[in-house]
A and B are shown apart, each in its own frame.
Chain A
Amino acid sequence: MNDLRVRLSQNAALLTAIVVFILFYVFYNMNHPRGFSVAVLIQNSNEVFTLAMVAMAQTVPVLMGGLDLSVGAIMTLVNTIASHLLNGSPMQIAFGMVVSLAAGAACGFVNGCIVVYGRIQPIIATLATGAIFLGLALFLRPSPGGNVDDDLSWAATNDLYEIAATYGFAQNGEAGWFQPISWIPVPLLLLVLVAVLVWLPFARSVTGRTVYAVGSGEGAAYMSGLSIDRAKIAAFTLGGFFAGIGGLYLTLQTSSGNADIPQAGAYTLNSIAAVVIGGTSLLGGVGTAIGSIFGALILRTISFNFRIFEIDPLMQPLFEGTVLLAAVSLGAFRVLRVKNTLELFR
């Protein structure tokens, strides 16, 4: 019982995000003409997945007390790479997916190395590498387009039934045992898989623990004999990998690649907002990527509601910016509690 209370209080920010999301989403469905239907759920999951990944990507450096301004760029670069590779034989497609994800991780690795060995501040380093990644993306896709395997694209953006029907297993999706799960949207399943198979193990690894430790107090982490450099590089690499998953999915969703610079910027901005809303401290040390997923869900649900109530979509950037400013400002009131002004300068 005591444990439960401790866990609840420690995860208050995450729980708040989950509750807020549920309220917003139920409200949305209640007002949607086809609310609470699988079709709506599939559409929503599609729209959420990429941002959720980019938000997870942003979480890792933020937990360490840094910031990655290149997550949107990495996503865009992987999008353009995948738009060239996701076609041909199944082997070729599989190869293309592996290359895309590896490219994302490699971008993150480069960021990490520049930050650790070049001793350049994460913000300015990722601002610069972000430009390079976008340049590469523009080089790969000077104009939007691409050739993406239709089956894969279709299967990845619908429910499990369509996967089975497309690739012909479980009696084309008609098998009795398959029915209870056939409705699950693929992106939703992928989201859970990434969280469970990638994030949770990382958070429980020594390297993951070190990431939290560095964000909590680099000096104490050093004194405890933790390998800080390795954790920093790992954090950026994992961030790049998540952004890569986002880019890969974006390719499947849009069946094309587009080196859209404003879009990359918007994803980066929203990723920061999602991280903050999801309860991760910008000072590092506190939070989880799971929270950021819910931060992304909240941001997207807000725009779903915009759509339902036919609020001018032009108001959306304003809204996103305001949400971000409000979220960071709320966290800033700790300043008022500081009794020794000198502590503010540390």
Chain B
Amino acid sequence: MSAPPKDPAQAHVQLTGVTKRYGGVTALDNVDFSCELGSVHAVLGENGAGKSTLIKIMSGVVQPDEGEIRLDGRLASFSHPAAANAQGIVCIFQELSLLPDLSVADNISISDPPRRFGLIDAKAQRRRAEELLARIGCEDLNPMSRVRDLPLSRRQMVEIAKALAKNPNVLILDEATSALTAADVDTVFEILRRLRDDGISILTISHRMHEIEAIADKCSVFRNGKHIETFQQGARSEGEIVQMMIGREITAHFPPKPPPPDSAEPMLELKKYSWEDRLKSIDLTVGAGEIVGLGGLDGQGQKELLLGLFGVLKGTSGQVIVQGNEVDINSPQDAKKAGVDLALIPEDRKTEGLMLPMSIADNLTIASLKRLSRGIFVDADAMTAAIEDGIQRMQIKVGSSADAVSTLSGGNQQKVVIAKWLMTEPKIVLLNDPTRGIDVGTKQEIYRLLRSLAETGASIVYYSTDYEELIGCCDRVAVMYDGEIVRELQGDEINERNIIASALKMDEAAQ
């Protein structure tokens, strides 16, 4: 501790015993972590390992429940992102924070524009933008361009320039390369290396193993909110890294899987299914009575695949064959038609699944209104019966079905969403991460329900960010990477090691 504060070998940021809980979930559990100036430090871990919480704490977005943060050995606390910025810690979040209609120069100086006579000094602002852009090797980018007109990769550069405008000592990148092409990634890395050589500490979260190999000096692996190990890049093999990432204790109990059927008739077939650059020539077959999981890191096209099937995306190409007939699904209305019989449990129940202020009854019946109408009027008796049935089938805990659905707990709300779709008697159920933010008890009810649905011959396509669920629930898992299915796992192949390895697109040899 007697070393001078700017000694590159000394920890610049030091977290000790940091714990963060969200409700009953412990996102970070007594974590010690540090990063040094002049190095690139990669943080690895599967979904929910605590990486995001770590950087949120470091950048002042959330405050730790326990533990302390030291900067150059001094105790520090950040009540707000601006406070962290003032101390030289700047974070570039996954979601771009740029204002699309303003110019590059405007955006770079948005928080603290240079002023002259009280007005923004456009010339000084421009000079500042030019300097910063030159520093990251983007001299060719015109500071007057509107951000909206720039390709994604250039916007990412502007984000970095904007972050540099705050003179950071620590630059945190949360999956900053996930939207970039390989060539762009190289450019960003070149910039990061230069910044590192300038003495900046760079903390990066990335899921792409080869990128970590290319850029990181140090790696830290997180699992279950715990800091497992930090090591020099190259000191561990890929296989060892995967070993560190897996090994979560199994907390949920899953219904037993039936033995794989000899020949399930295909219920849903996709051939060369593509959309924009997010889905690339996907071939997938789902048999009747089968639960197929979609695996992979978040944002590899799983959501788009489900939305596309449900008719939400325009301009998809390739064939969709449902129950033996090629179908053309252009809207959710088409998707729930007889003969297609699709249902989608959407990602965000609050904005896509439910009308929160409306009653439980109204929410349950909204997808089946036609079925429950006689002539132009709704059949009140049929409706009451259907509501009763839905509540009972899903064991939804309600006071009165006339209560607003917002009064229910998260788990019961999700049950309403599922019950709504079961009422349409679907043959193919698409689920987009349905157990997120739900208590364990409800999760298990959902697992049982999925299995019992499958046993009645329905097909289920199940995207989950939780590998444990994929392993416990699915008869087959298709792992996606960058819009493609990179591997299909079956039977005993479905284990954490295989899923993570294919999600990171590691060579089979490395496993």
Question: Are B314 and A225 closer than 8 Å at their CB atoms?
Answer: no
Q: Knowing A213-B110, A339-B314 are in contact, say whether A220-B99 is a contact too (CB < 8 A).
A: yes
Interface residues of A (CB under 8 A from B): 2-3, 6-7, 9-10, 201, 204-206, 209, 212-213, 215-217, 220-221, 223-226, 281, 284-286, 338-342
Neighbour of A217 across the interface among B99, B119, B142, B315, CB < 8 A: B99
Chain B hits for A223, CB < 8 A: 81, 97
Q: In whole angstroms, how far apart are the Cα atoms of A9 and B142 in the complex?
A: 13
Chain A hits for B315, CB < 8 A: 339
Question: Are B313 and A339 closer than 8 Å at their CB atoms?
Answer: yes
B358 interfacial contact with A, CB 8 Å: no
Chain B hits for A286, CB < 8 A: 101
Q: What total count of A-B pairs have CB within 8 Å?
A: 78
What's the least CB distance linking B338 to chain A, in Å? 22
B232 interfacial contact with A, CB 8 Å: no
B235 interfacial contact with A, CB 8 Å: no
What's the least CB distance linking B457 to chain A, in Å? 30
SS class, residues of chain A in contact with chain B: helix
What's the least CB distance linking B133 to chain A, in Å? 14
| A-B residue pairs in contact (CB < 8 Å), sample of 20 | A2-B142, A3-B142, A3-B144, A9-B149, A204-B120, A204-B122, A206-B115, A209-B102, A212-B101, A213-B102, A217-B100, A220-B99, A225-B81, A225-B82, A226-B110, A339-B313, A339-B314, A340-B307, A340-B313, A341-B314
Q: In whole angstroms, how far apart are the Cα atoms of A2 and B143 in the complex?
A: 11
Among B82, B102, B106, B312, max chain A CB count under 10 A is at B102
Q: In whole angstroms, how far apart are the Cα atoms of A6 and B276 in the complex?
A: 28
What's the least CB distance linking B45 to chain A, in Å? 25
Question: Are A204 and B119 closer than 8 Å at their CB atoms?
Answer: yes
B202 interfacial contact with A, CB 8 Å: no
What's the least CB distance linking B143 to chain A, in Å? 9
Closest 9 CB pairs of A and B: A285-B101, A216-B101, A216-B99, A204-B119, A224-B110, A6-B144, A339-B314, A341-B312, A286-B101
B477 interfacial contact with A, CB 8 Å: no
Question: Are B110 and A341 closer than 8 Å at their CB atoms?
Answer: no
Question: Are A215 and B314 closer than 8 Å at their CB atoms?
Answer: no
Of all chain A residues, the one with the shortest Cβ separation from B109 is A209
B353 interfacial contact with A, CB 8 Å: no
B118 interfacial contact with A, CB 8 Å: yes
B249 interfacial contact with A, CB 8 Å: no
Q: In whole angstroms, how far apart are the Cα atoms of A204 and B276 in the complex?
A: 39
What's the least CB distance linking A228 to chain B, in Å? 12
Among B119, B142, B146, B315, max chain A CB count under 10 A is at B119
Q: What would 7 more interface pairs be, CB under 8 Å, given A220-B97, A225-B82, A342-B307?
A: A2-B142, A201-B119, A205-B119, A209-B120, A339-B275, A339-B313, A342-B352
Q: In whole angstroms, how far apart are the Cα atoms of A220 and B158 in the complex?
A: 14
What's the least CB distance linking A335 to chain B, in Å? 11
Question: Are B101 and A6 closer than 8 Å at their CB atoms?
Answer: no
Chain A hits for B266, CB < 8 A: none
B98 interfacial contact with A, CB 8 Å: yes
Chain B hits for A221, CB < 8 A: 99
Q: In whole angstroms, how far apart are the Cα atoms of A315 and B32 in the complex?
A: 76
